[in-house]
Chains A and B, each alone.
Chain A
Amino acid sequence: MKIGVVVSEGPYTHQAADTAYQFVKAALDKGHEVPRVFFYHDGVNVSTRLSVPPQDERHIQKQWTALAQEHEIDLVVCIAAAQRRGLLDENEAKRQGKDANNIAEGFRISGLGQLIEMGIQTDRLVTFGD
Chain B
Amino acid sequence: MSDIKKFLYVNRKPPYGTIYALESLEVVLIGAAFEQDVSLAFLDDGVFQLTRGQNTDAIGVKNFSPTFRALGDYEVTKLYVERESLEERGLTEGDLQEITYEDEDDDWEEKPSIRVVSRAEMAGIMADQDVVLSF
Contacts and interface: CB of A to CB of B under 8 A. Distances in A.
Interface in A56-80: 80
Interface residues of A, number: 18
A68 to B, nearest CB: 22
A51 to B, nearest CB: 21
B112 interface: no
A126 to B, nearest CB: 10
B108 interface: no
B134 interface: yes
A115 interface: yes
A120 B34 CA distance: 9
Given A125-B131, A125-B133, A127-B134, A111 B23 contact: no
Main secondary structure of the interface of B (DSSP, over half): mixed
Contacts, number: 47
Interface residues of B, number: 20
B34 A113 contact: yes
Main secondary structure of the interface of A (DSSP, over half): helix
A84 B34 CA distance: 24
Contact of B26 (A112, A125, A129): A112
Contacts of A119: 5, 7, 130-131, 133
Nearest to B5: A120
Interface in A39-60: 40-41
A86 B42 CA distance: 30
Interface in B10-44: 19-20, 23, 26-27, 30-31, 33-34, 36
